[in-house]
Amino acid sequence: MLAFDDIAHRVLERIASDPDPFAALDDDAPFDALARAVFAFQYEANLPYRAFCDRRGRTPDRVARWQDVPALPTSAFKTVELACAAPEKVFRTSGTAQGSERRGRHLVPRLELYRRGALAHFRRMVLPDGLRPRIVGLLGPPDLLPESSLAQMVEWLRLDVAGGHGEYLVDAAGFDAARAADRIAELSRDGRPLCLIGVRVVFTALLDHCLASRRVLELPADSRVVDTGGPKGGRTLSDAGFLAACWRVLGVAGYHCVNEYGMTELCSQYYDDTLAARWDGDSRPRRKVPPAWMRSVAVDPATLAPLPEGTTGLLCHVDLANAGSVMAVQTEDLGTVDRGRLQLLGRAPGAEPRGCALALADFLAASP
């Protein structure tokens, strides 16, 4: 069996080679070979996951392609510690209606896999022109949110992309939209582009305040807006309403507004391709693109069988940067996957989809 250091090194090499995700999606062979090697390692090193694979009859010698790797539902991360080595960091999902004790936990043995991958794909999809904007987080800093994978990623962006320049606009007292608007206006005065990044519910509070008070902030030219999902529970603008408000309040055009799709259970992220496409002179419709070390497939909600391309189903992700935990993760997010590009359509309505419930039952029955 390969040691974790060997597997991590191979994935880091894949990230460091900076493969173009658009080209990589058309050449599946390198990804497939590495994905099956990571699966073979995780089958041996992660005992709860191995028991689940055995129960499902999927062992390394029976998996011929990455699409056949058994995927754990995200709910499994709430019940068992899933790691192939001692974790350097533990991230937790936001609280649910079941209470904070039901939060998922992602144990990450090698943070460098997360850091290197997050920085590389952010640069390609959000900063294809090589811009080095000041990072302004519409969320709390890592010392306030030590278990947030998003806060950790934004801090890496502040340190690496922005050379340490930037700040956070949420503190222990919460988010003050009026004060945040004042600070954004102040930061805009020197003309250095800003990259506002955070959860949409906080963006909505800022934009609602400015619209109600008829305030226009006018960010410097070439500024970017990156919004994510994040905690639910507050008012959020629709996609169209969000883009319109960003133009009206911030002076940021829609092609400089990039939506990020990620989750605590994964070390890699999807980004809208609108800015990268514009930079390449392409006017294709907005879709989300993974890094070259990640793939996704839509599956049937009842059986979890892969669906034809372009068919709506539950999204299943295979992320090589998750080499230290579980690479294949089954979500309850609905969407389509067409030539590797993703269109997100929201969460599955109602109760847990039957396929996810059965997979979790298999996992719990097999867990040592």
pLDDT tens digit sequence for 56-107: 999 999 999 999 999 999 999 999 999 999 999 999 997 544 444 578 999 9
User: Of 6-10, 199-203, 228-232, which range is least confident?
Assistant: 228-232
Query: Count of CB atoms within 10 A of residue 107's CB?
Result: 19
pLDDT tens digit sequence for 240-293: 999 999 999 999 999 999 999 999 999 999 999 998 777 776 767 789 999 999
Q: What pLDDT sits at residue 346?
A: 87
pLDDT-based confidence at 1, cuts 50/70/90?
low
Q: Are 317 and 333 in contact (CB under 8 A)?
A: no
Long-range contacts of 5-13 (CB under 8 A, 24+ apart): 7/37, 7/38, 7/41, 7/323, 8/110, 8/112, 8/113, 8/323, 8/324, 10/34, 10/37, 11/38, 11/113, 11/293, 11/320, 11/321, 11/323, 12/112, 12/113, 12/116
Alpha helices in 234-353 (DSSP H): 239-245, 274-279
DSSP 4-72: HHHHHHHHHHHHHT---HHHHTT--HHHHHHHHHHHHHHHHH-HHHHHHHHHTT--GGG--SGGGSPPE
pLDDT averaged over every residue in the chain: 91
Please name the amino acid found at residue 344. Answer: L
Return the higher-pLDDT residue of 26 and 200: 200
Taken in order of first residue, the domains within the chain and their CATH numbers are 4-87+290-366 (no CATH), 112-288 (3.40.50.980)
pLDDT tens digit sequence for 132-157: 999 999 999 999 999 999 999 999 99
Q: Are 359 and 72 in contact (CB under 8 A)?
A: yes
pTM of the full structure: 0.93
Return the higher-pLDDT residue of 352 and 342: 342
From CA 305, how far away is CA 158, in angstroms rounded?
40
pLDDT-based confidence at 368, cuts 50/70/90?
low
Q: What pLDDT sits at residue 9?
A: 94
Residue with tokens 């090499």: 13
Please name the amino acid found at residue 79. Answer: T
Q: What pLDDT sits at residue 125?
A: 94
Burial class (CB in 10 A: 0-12, 13-18, 19+), 308: exposed
pLDDT-based confidence at 11, cuts 50/70/90?
very high
As given in the structure block, the two tokens for residue 121 are 């794909």
What string of H, E and C letters represents the secondary structure of 180-204? HHHHHHHHHHHCCCEEEEEEHHHHH
Overall average pLDDT of the 330-356 stretch: 88
pLDDT-based confidence at 215, cuts 50/70/90?
very high
Kindly state the percentage of the chain with pLDDT values over 90.
Answer: 78
Helix then strand then coil, % of the chain, to nearest 5: 40, 20, 40
Q: Could you tell me which residues come within 8 angstroms of residue 186 by beta carbon, excluding any fewer than 6 positions away?
A: none
